[in-house]
Amino acid sequence: MITVSPQGENSIVVTPGANAEVTADFIDAHRETIRDAGIVLAQLEIPIDTVEHLASLCGAEGIPLMLDPAPAHALPLAIFRHVQWFTPNETEAAFFAAKVGEDVGELKPEKTANALLAAGAESVVLKMGSRGVYLSSANGLSQMIPAFRVTAVDTTAAGDAFNGAFATALMLGFEQQVGARFAAAAAAISVTRPGAQPSMPTRAEVDELLRAHGS
């Protein structure tokens, strides 16, 4: 059940249902598919034990793992060591920073990202809504990517749009900063439309928005 305020902000109630059937055995049954992947994108609406198993498998096989930690849930620290991209929103970022011993109070991107990097994640993308996204990595990357100014109708699945587009951009060989701007454009388009899957933009729409902004 998804409710949306007049300002476009959303609140979501999830009943896991079939997601609970995504077990470690299910992951193992599809091991060859995972081995053939260029990147694996996962979130926390499946059992945490399954996510931990998946992270270990990706680590062992050398497959990049992007983890969207939603909904926020305590994670074994071992998972972080297998995550190439950790992509929380503001609420999730504060939750996980506190879990690893850093009380960030009001979200301070650099301080929060550093806490998550110290936990073991290779790179962090903080999704900060209308303020944009903050990129940080263990190799010294630290950059704010501004959001595109649009009129929000429904923010449902904006984070999903960003993550999917960011994974796509990385697969296309884009530099991280360029990929994040590509993904921010996808998320911006998605919030101008109602719904989750129906709001996802096409590649052509993303390219058009980028061209309109001189990218």
Instruction: Please state the three-class secondary structure of 202-213 as a single string.
Output: CHHHHHHHHHHC
Which positions are catalytic? 160
Contact 34, 63 (CB under 8 A): yes
**In terms of residues, how long is the chain?**
215
104 — pLDDT class (breaks 50, 70, 90)? low
Q: Which ranges constitute the DSSP H helices of 62-175? A: 77-80, 90-99, 109-118, 158-171
What mean pLDDT, rounded, does the chain reach? 92
- Residue 208: pLDDT above 90? yes
Q: Is the pTM of this model over 0.75?
A: yes
Give the ranges where the chain is alpha helix by DSSP (H): 24-29, 31-35, 48-61, 77-80, 90-99, 109-118, 158-171, 176-190, 203-212
Domains assigned to the chain: 2-212 (3.40.1190.20)
User: Which tens digit of pLDDT belongs to each residue from 5-24?
Assistant: 888 887 878 787 899 999 99
